[in-house]
Amino acid sequence: MTALDPTTAADPLSPGGVDPVLDPASARPQRVWRQLHRNPKTLVGLLVLVPTVLVAILAPWLTPYPYDQVYVGEVLGAPDADHLLGTDLNGRDLLSRLIMGTRVVVGIPLVVGLLTLLIGVPVGLLAGYLRGPFDAVAMRVVDIFLSFPWLLVALGLASVLGAGLSTVVVTLVVVYWPQVARVTRNSVIAVTEAEYVKAAAAIGESRTSIVLRYVLRNAYFPVLVLLSSMMAFSILNEAGISFLGFGIQSPDTSWGLELAAGSTYLSAAPHLVVFPGIAIVVVVLGMNLFADGLGDLLSRQGRNR
Amino acid sequence: MTTAVIRRLGVGLLTLWVVSVLVFLIIHNLPGDPISVLLRQYATPETRAALEALWGLDKPLTEQYLAWLGNLLTGDFGVSISSNLPVGQILAERLPRTLLLMTGGLLLALLVAIPGGMLAASRRGSAVDHGLTTGSLVLQAQPEFWIGSLLVLTFGVTLAWFPTSGYVDLADDPVGWLRHSVMPMLTIAVVTTGLLLRTVRASMLTELQQDHILLARSNGVRPWRVIGWHAGRNAVAPTLTVVGLQVGILMSGAVITERVFGYPGMGLTLVNALISRDYPVVQSGILVFAALFIVTNTVVDVVSMWLDPRTRATLQGAR
Amino acid sequence: MTETDVTLRVADLRVDLASGAQPVEGVSFDVRQGEMLGIVGESGSGKSMTLRAMSGLLPHGVRATVTGSVTVAGTELATASGRPPRHPRVGDRAAFGYVFQEPLAALNPGFTIRRHLLEALRAHGRLGDRSDRHDRLVAALADVRLPEPERVLRSHPHELSGGMRQRVVIALALIGRPHVLLADEPTTALDVTVAAEVLDLVQTLQREHSLTSVLVSHDLSLVAQRCDRVLVMYGGEIVESGAAADLMTSPQHPYTQRLLEATVDPFDPELRRTPDPEVESRAPLMTAGGVTVTYPARRRRQDPVVAVDGVDVAVRAGEVVAVVGESGSGKSSMAKALAGMQPVDDGDVRLGGRTVTTDRRDRTWLTGEVQMVFQDPYSALNPRMPVGTAIQRSLAIHQPALDAASRREEARRLLDDVGLPRSFEDRYPVELSGGQRQRVVVARALAAQPRVLLADEPTSALDVSVQAQLLALLRDLVDRRDLGMLLITHDFAAVRAIADRVVVMSRGRIVEAAPIDDLITTPTDPYTRRLLDAVPSARRTHTTQEST
């Protein structure tokens, strides 16, 4: 882009052509706050996510009853003053079970996110920066992994590892690391082709210094966007696997598991489906909104480049 | 033909091969040895020896693999442990049902996503745009089994418009088939529409910001024609690629949906087989689904390449 | 002028963006039938926005209110609604035809040229009879002097050259038989010689079709040479208007005066450079001998591409040597070879008794000797590194003896040297203008204490007034620090402003090498002459048109 033409030089959509959040010069608290205001999606997302994380941390102290305590005689009880969300088919308090389930909802995305970053980012970074044969081989491997539909991976792994939490985590890491690797690689390539990386070589910077000081600092954002939407999907994935019976096993709890158990008694006790369902939808939507808000920032940054 | 297409086909074949190896290895990595897993308490030394000889388990692993692959290629998928039917026969009966379900769901989703995405992109930043994009995010947050349950609760239990379970074959009773299939298709469509709509919108926005859109407008081309034809034509290829990748999510969705509705397609069969440890069915089911996905994506990518005249030119030039 | 003469009248045109910015603040002007009006301004002056607003072509997603009146051939186009009219028509003709800056971006990559023409014909209800349709398409292309119209019709945009694409865009604009042709920087993306051809064509068509036209450009010389009357825009307003000749000789407004001062006319005799015999007697610092660079063939059964073919260049301390050429001349490959960023297939580049290689182990030495100034200051600096740190990084590598405090002090001194305030050290590149960023790039280069400065199109991304300042800075640094400088460029104005000697490249070879004065006054090579003829100038001292 040259500066000769005002209609292209200054983006009329973002006054001044400067992005207040991605622009590191203005990463001051009040500017970040203003940016959140202008981007309500991220704000609403945070309003859902922060309480969810808090509930997950404080879960054992928040549950009105022990989550695995059976109340005989209160099987499939409708919501009332004692059990705000009713009881399940074993007579356990649904609210307590959902509160404990928050730990899965928060924990799975965090663990999966961390593991996929640990595998995907180094692979993508090396492929994007070194290019050549390593890139070619790594991306073919990524292509192969990308063509495993996630549920098939789960079913295949369940047949080998059996049902359980480890199946869920391994499945999601297998499914998502190639996406992280590919996005990292593409972002690194885009940054590496920018003139400031060539300029860094021209002032004599070493390769390590170029990667750390110039490439990584400018390439991480798209990975962050992917990561946040990936985390939203992983909540749905866990729920799906647990729904089919290959994920978390009772008496442990997860929202998908509760919904699965409840769906058998749909007409008798609809609350067993409705409450876990709403919980999943709200948290995933919050995560999606957060991810989408980040994505909007990213595309604005792209226009300013 | 061209290097790009050949490379894409090569990757497709390579992926198929890797998947076949992985699926083959499933049976050999089961906890315990396969025969005792498969025969469970019925394992006597005689049946064990007979099976070992039958499956060639006494031979080296590579030889076993090649034999298995050879059988697959000749259409011999083995025999189901629980039903004793040839797996090939089960596939032939169940797979088309799932494919119909997926196709129906995808078509329903595209019916909403394409016009919706185009509308949102052409009215960028308006209330319509915000409504459609936020609506998509809401749809994207819905688990299949939750939507399925809600549909069953509303249209099956409360309104009793559609049957909540059971199945009638398309060939026997098309209307009955449709009545049984509408809710599963809707379920698949609901969870797919969000991402598709946002994809269409994003591709369209990229195109609408190109200078050639201004040129078309400056040449007096009508607005709807600019959006639908000048921009829309170029937005097809990137959208198609995402739709291809969506088939994986669609498949996963179909499996879960069939389970919700007790719909006797390949997905439900696969899940039940896994629960009853019917490994020949599990193996073939996963392999066939994966193969389907890989072939779809390969075709989609080659078509996308063909749609872009810039890559098409290099294709033709290298002939 | 009488009312009937006026084809285009713009009165009090304003554009208010939803963001609150006002890129156009009350612009009024008339264009007479058959006239070519020039609008000149730098980035942000509102010149392009004026054109787009009056023709209803604001980019997709831009929310703006347009007020004022636009009258074409006596008919007022409705702007009262606050929404610019979409493709206004007057009678059975389009009010405007539009020519864009980037012809490749302006053509739909998925359409053939034939499809483009058909779409335009359909839009104007002129698809007509199928039987002679093909002939009319061919005629439309022949009209803009496109050779082989049959082949062009079947082509996609990416298969045509830049000049051909721009001719297609013009042909499309003419299909609506517009009253006014609007051309927005139509030649900025083209090579000098091609640009001259395209502008010649526009002027020819203007006569043949009795068109009225408006030419928007950042280039004062170009507008002055081509147009009858010129408007100068600044900050969304017209600051001066008048006949082109008057504007060039006696500008009234201070901004126009500044702009004119900054505009270097390569043929201005006053720019004569007196050679310094002391410098000329020095031995060369850096010598390229018979440098050849080839790229492997992109497809099988094709020959490898020879980008640079046996080129010799030498530069002494205290002099500026310009390497001039059009795109594809090999000048950029040559620059990379000189900087050790491109392996040389034959010949060598020698510097201080050593041969320049791409070897990683030589980089610290080489980057301490040769530093680069890049074309695009907007991307040459790490957006996440304060500019002070950027300079200090270079110091840390090339002057490792300095401790953190003295590095910081030295970086501040370098900011002084390039004419930037010391307070800029904490700023990030986004907070700086293009010219300021380019000064930081220069300061960072100087931090390595190089002997040779390699500047690859250092001014082409900058506004005219900023260009002049940066060139002056570079020349000053060369003189003060006795640097040797290689200036790689396509721009004769920049060459004239600071170079001592010039090397003209075409298709990988040197076609002429001479001191700058000799080259400007008495070019010997026909290609050099063609190149010089294409440079817009009001004071050309020689003309070779008759001789070629």
C458-505 residue pLDDT tens = 988 888 888 989 999 999 999 999 999 999 998 888 999 899 999 999
Q: To the nearest whole angstrom, how far is the Cα of C351 from the nearest Cα of chain A?
A: 16
Closest residue in A to B252 (Cα–Cα): A151
- Dig out the tokens for B202 from the structure: 């994003």
Q: To the nearest whole angstrom, how far is the Cα of B133 from the nearest Cα of chain A?
A: 10
Q: How confident is the model at residue B32 (pLDDT cuts 50, 70, 90)?
A: low
Closest residue in B to A139 (Cα–Cα): B11
At residue B71, the pLDDT reads 83
Co-location of B98 and B129 in the same domain: yes
Euclidean distance between CA atoms B152 and B164, whole angstroms: 6
Determine, for residues C380 and A4 on separate chains, whether the beta-carbon distance falls below 8 Å: no
- The reply to whether C27 falls in a domain is no
Co-location of C286 and C365 in the same domain: yes
What's the domain count of chain C?
A: 2
3 state SS of C126: coil
Euclidean distance between CA atoms C495 and B214, whole angstroms: 36
Q: To the nearest whole angstrom, how far is the Cα of C97 from the nearest Cα of chain B?
A: 7
Do the Cβ atoms of C166 and C198 come closer than 8 Å? yes
Q: To the nearest whole angstrom, how far is the Cα of A261 from the nearest Cα of chain C?
A: 48
Euclidean distance between CA atoms C375 and A200, whole angstroms: 15
Give A159's contacts in chain B (Cβ within 8 Å).
26, 30, 274, 277, 279, 282
Chain C residues 307-366 with CB within 8 Å of chain A: 339, 341, 363-364, 366
- The reply to whether C459 falls in a domain is yes
Determine, for residues B15 and A284 on separate chains, whether the beta-carbon distance falls below 8 Å: no
- Dig out the tokens for C545 from the structure: 């048109």
3 state SS of B169: coil
C298 touching B, CB under 8 A? no
C315 touching B, CB under 8 A? no
- Dig out the tokens for B289 from the structure: 């689904």
- Dig out the tokens for A167 from the structure: 């199946």
Euclidean distance between CA atoms C428 and A25, whole angstroms: 6
Nearest to A3 among C368, C380, C463 (CB): C463
Give C111's contacts in chain B (Cβ within 8 Å).
230, 233
Mutate to test the interface with A, among B187, B210, B250, B252 (most CBs of A within 10 A): B252
Co-location of B110 and B253 in the same domain: yes
Co-location of B43 and B170 in the same domain: no
Give, rounded to a whole angstrom, the gap between the first and last alpha carbons of chain B: 6
Q: Of C407, C431, C449, which closes a domain?
A: C449
Q: How confident is the model at residue B210 (pLDDT cuts 50, 70, 90)?
A: confident
Q: What is the interface pTM, i.e. ipTM, of the complex?
A: 0.82
How far apart, in Å, are the Cα atoms of A244 and each of B81, B95, C422?
Answer: 21, 19, 65
Q: How confident is the model at residue B282 (pLDDT cuts 50, 70, 90)?
A: confident
B219 DSSP 8-state letter: T
Give the rounded percent of residues in chain C with a pLDDT score beyond 90: 47
At residue C393, the pLDDT reads 93
Euclidean distance between CA atoms B77 and A73, whole angstroms: 50
Euclidean distance between CA atoms C459 and C469, whole angstroms: 10
Q: Which chains touch B (3 or more CB pairs under 8 A)?
A: A, C
Nearest to C427 among A25, A200, A204 (CB): A25
Nearest to A144 among B14, B141, B152 (CB): B14
Nearest to A5 among C101, C339, C434 (CB): C101
- The reply to whether B193 falls in a domain is yes
List of residues 6+ apart from A39 with CB closer than 8 A: A293, A296, A297
Co-location of B39 and B93 in the same domain: no
Co-location of B53 and B153 in the same domain: no
Q: Can you name the residues that pair with B88 across neighbouring β-strands? A: none
Kindly report the CATH class assigned to A36-69+83-304. mainly alpha
* Residue C290 φ/ψ region, left for φ over 0, alpha for ψ in the -120 to 50 degree band, beta for the rest: left
Give B265's contacts in chain A (Cβ within 8 Å).
none
- Dig out the tokens for A66 from the structure: 């022990």
Co-location of B237 and B104 in the same domain: yes
- The reply to whether B287 falls in a domain is yes
Q: Quick one: which of B272, B274, B286, B249 has its CA closest to B25?
A: B286
Helices (H) and strands (E) in chain A, counts: 12, 0
Q: Of B48, B73, B98, which closes a domain?
A: B73
Nearest to B26 among A147, A156, A245 (CB): A156
Q: To the nearest whole angstrom, how far is the Cα of A210 from the nearest Cα of chain B?
A: 31
Nearest to B215 among C124, C169, C299 (CB): C169
Which CATH number fits the domain that encloses residue B299?
1.10.3720.10
Q: What is the pLDDT of residues A124-152, one digit of tens each?
A: 999 999 888 999 899 888 888 887 888 88
- The reply to whether C119 falls in a domain is no
List of residues 6+ apart from A233 with CB closer than 8 A: none
Co-location of B156 and B296 in the same domain: yes
Which CATH number fits the domain that encloses residue C466?
3.40.50.300
Give C112's contacts in chain B (Cβ within 8 Å).
309
Give B133's contacts in chain A (Cβ within 8 Å).
292
C251 DSSP 8-state letter: -
At residue B219, the pLDDT reads 85
At residue C4, the pLDDT reads 63
Chain B residues 4-43 with CB within 8 Å of chain A: 11, 14-15, 18-19, 22-23, 26, 29-31
Closest residue in B to A289 (Cα–Cα): B137
C427 touching A, CB under 8 A? yes
At residue B31, the pLDDT reads 60
C346-354 mean pLDDT: 89
Co-location of C464 and C505 in the same domain: yes
Q: Give burial (CB, 10 Å; 0-12/13-18/19+) of B64.
A: middle
Co-location of B22 and B153 in the same domain: no
At residue C165, the pLDDT reads 93
At residue C484, the pLDDT reads 94
How far apart, in Å, are the Cα atoms of C483 and each of A78, B243, C102, C301, C474?
Answer: 87, 58, 37, 45, 10
- Give me the domain span that covers residue C440: 379-449
3 state SS of C486: strand
3 state SS of C323: strand
Give B213's contacts in chain C (Cβ within 8 Å).
60
Co-location of C411 and C291 in the same domain: no
| Run of H or E residues at B94 | helix B87-122
Co-location of C342 and C404 in the same domain: no
Co-location of C341 and C460 in the same domain: yes
Co-location of B208 and B181 in the same domain: yes
Give B316's contacts in chain C (Cβ within 8 Å).
none
Q: How confident is the model at residue C543 (pLDDT cuts 50, 70, 90)?
A: very low
Nearest to A218 among C384, C462, C463 (CB): C384
Q: To the nearest whole angstrom, how far is the Cα of C460 from the nearest Cα of chain A?
A: 8
- The reply to whether C178 falls in a domain is no
Do the Cβ atoms of C106 and B212 come closer than 8 Å? yes
Question: What are the structural domain ranges in chain A?
Answer: 36-69+83-304
Nearest to A7 among C59, C339, C374 (CB): C59
What's the domain count of chain B?
A: 2
Nearest to B15 among A144, A282, A289 (CB): A144
Which of A82-96, A234-248, B244-258, C253-267 has the least mean pLDDT?
A82-96
Give C381's contacts in chain A (Cβ within 8 Å).
196, 199
Euclidean distance between CA atoms C454 and C444, whole angstroms: 13
Mutate to test the interface with A, among C57, C399, C430, C457 (most CBs of A within 10 A): C430
Do the Cβ atoms of C193 and C1 come closer than 8 Å? no
Co-location of B66 and B186 in the same domain: no
C-beta neighbour count of A270 within 10 angstroms: 20
Whether residue C84 has pLDDT greater than 70: no
Q: To the nearest whole angstrom, how far is the Cα of A189 from the nearest Cα of chain C?
A: 15
Q: Higher-confidence residue: C225 or B47? A: C225
At residue B311, the pLDDT reads 65
At residue A13, the pLDDT reads 29
- In the predicted model, residues of chain A with pLDDT beneath 70 are 1-38, 72-74, 76, 298-305
Determine, for residues B219 and C176 on separate chains, whether the beta-carbon distance falls below 8 Å: yes
Q: To the nearest whole angstrom, how far is the Cα of B319 from the nearest Cα of chain C?
A: 11
Give the rounded percent of residues in chain C with a pLDDT score beyond 70: 95
At residue A7, the pLDDT reads 28
Determine, for residues C444 and A213 on separate chains, whether the beta-carbon distance falls below 8 Å: no
Which of A192-196, B264-268, C266-270 has the least mean pLDDT?
C266-270
Chain B residues 214-253 with CB within 8 Å of chain A: 245, 247-249, 251-252
- Confidence (pTM): 0.82
Nearest to C105 among B211, B230, B309 (CB): B211
Between helix B211-218 and helix C162-175 the angle, nearest 10°, is 30
Q: Quick one: which of C442, C468, C436 has its CA closest to C456?
A: C442
Determine, for residues B153 and A146 on separate chains, whether the beta-carbon distance falls below 8 Å: no
Whether residue C385 has pLDDT greater than 70: yes
Co-location of B160 and B223 in the same domain: yes
B109-127 mean pLDDT: 90
Q: Can you name the residues that pair with C513 across neighbouring β-strands? A: C503
Co-location of C289 and C420 in the same domain: no
Place of tokens 């990524």: A142
List of residues 6+ apart from C268 with CB closer than 8 A: C496, C539
Mean pLDDT across chain C, nearest whole number?
A: 88
Co-location of C471 and C443 in the same domain: no
How far apart, in Å, are the Cα atoms of B61 and each of A227, B19, B287?
Answer: 39, 16, 19
Closest residue in B to A149 (Cα–Cα): B248
C-beta neighbour count of C98 within 10 angstroms: 28
Strands (E), A81-195: none
- Give me the domain span that covers residue B246: 87-318
Q: Which chains touch C (3 or more CB pairs under 8 A)?
A: A, B
Determine, for residues A204 and C379 on separate chains, whether the beta-carbon distance falls below 8 Å: no
Whether residue C545 has pLDDT greater than 70: no
